[in-house]
């Protein structure tokens, strides 16, 4: 059975949080995974990270890592120093992942998040090649540490580099590492793909991580817009055994609301306990549909 989890930002207005509290919270809800961001963890001491890792182990919660590289960490930048910053940030994250027992790294990890071309272009090959070169260097460390590096396919408004499953397949094949996989996300697929099933089948055994959410970033829902039967059936068809992580964002305010661009209360005033119930219901639906 696929492990089911949630991104920690669902409960937060800012990217810093009490990770131990969130671990205990997702355990109570009945989830298997808490997806975390590297930057706030890198800012902690090793002792603090060890405490978080111990709490995850005690609660049988897997920690997966998801990033949105900043403009000064852009692996596709023309500036070599910026690319070096991105490589160092990524490999530093791999080190703390190894210390904390993490094995999956994903997100907008091959270029800067929320940064797109500022003029009309017809050729992005130079940007593509710079990113590929940086990621090939990173993959040497990922392979050494046994970490899966999953390239997220995101919509055109958040990145210019890889917007479709077809582009992602080309990208990871050019990187050429067994540890370089693909992350598909239903929110982004809804914008960019012609077919959910077609995109998932195209990626096939390159699929290393999977994000789910409704088209308005609510948690998955039986009565939502997304074709969950189609999505889960094709995941089973390709024998996807990996994690399914919910990445909903439904509260205004703070760094999270700003970065995700939540400009209304999508939760409709939901309390924290009501938000927890939305996740519990979503997890139950996903587990039922993923039964083989």
Mind telling me the catalytic residues? 152, 247
CA distance 164 to 246: 20
Query: Are residues 98 and 139 in contact, defined by beta-carbon separation less than 8 angstroms?
Result: no
Q: Tell me how far apart the alpha carbons of residues 183 and 191 are, in angstroms, rounded to a whole number.
A: 15
Nearest to 2, CA basis, from 210, 280, 226: 210
Distance between CA atoms of residues 218 and 247, nearest Å: 8
- In sequence order, the 6+-apart residues with CB closer than 8 A to the CB of 212 are 185, 186, 220, 226, 231, 244, 245, 246, 247, 282, 286
Q: CA 108, CA 113: separation in Å to the nearest integer?
A: 6
Q: Taking Cα atoms as reference points, which of 110, 168, 162 lies closest to residue 137?
A: 110
Cα dihedral 3, 155, 68, 218 in deg (nearest 10): -50
Phi, psi values for residue 246, rounded to 5°? -75, 140
Q: Are 127 and 161 in contact (CB under 8 A)?
A: yes
Q: How far is it, in rounded angstroms, from Cα 115 to Cα 40?
A: 21
Please, is 147 exposed, middle or buried when counting C-beta atoms within 10 Å of its C-beta (0-12, 13-18, 19+)?
buried
d(CA 203, CA 181) in angstroms, rounded, equals 9
């Amino acid at each position: 059975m696929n492990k089911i989890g949630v991104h920690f930002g669902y409960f937060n207005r800012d990217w810093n949080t009490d990770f131990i509290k969130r671990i205990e919270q997702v355990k109570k809800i009945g989830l298997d995974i808490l997806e975390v961001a590297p930057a706030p963890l890198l800012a902690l001491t090793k002792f603090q990270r060890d405490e978080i890792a111990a709490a995850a182990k005690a609660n049988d919660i897997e920690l997966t890592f998801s990033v949105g590289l900043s403009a000064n960490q852009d692996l596709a930048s023309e500036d070599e120093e910026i690319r070096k910053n991105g490589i160092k940030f990524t490999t530093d994250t791999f080190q703390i992942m190894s210390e904390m027992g993490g094995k999956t790294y994903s997100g907008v990890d091959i270029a800067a998040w929320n940064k797109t071309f500022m003029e009309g272009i017809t050729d992005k090959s130079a940007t593509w090649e710079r990113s590929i070169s940086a990621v090939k260097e990173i993959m040497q460390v990922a392979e050494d540490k046994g970490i899966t590096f999953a390239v997220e396919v995101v919509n055109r408004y958040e990145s210019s580099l890889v917007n479709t499953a077809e582009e992602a397949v080309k990208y990871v094949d050019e990187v050429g590492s067994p540890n370089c996989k693909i992350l598909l996300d239903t929110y982004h697929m809804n914008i960019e793909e012609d077919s959910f099933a077609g995109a998932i089948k195209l990626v096939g055994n390159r699929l290393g991580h999977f994000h789910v959410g409704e088209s308005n970033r609510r948690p998955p829902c039986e009565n939502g817009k997304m074709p969950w039967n189609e999505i889960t059936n094709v995941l089973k068809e390709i024998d996807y055994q990996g994690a399914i992580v919910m990445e909903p964002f439904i509260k205004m305010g703070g760094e999270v609301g700003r970065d995700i661009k939540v400009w209304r209360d999508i939760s409709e005033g939901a309390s924290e306990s009501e938000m927890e119930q939305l996740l519990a219901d979503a997890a139950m639906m996903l587990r039922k549909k993923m039964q083989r």
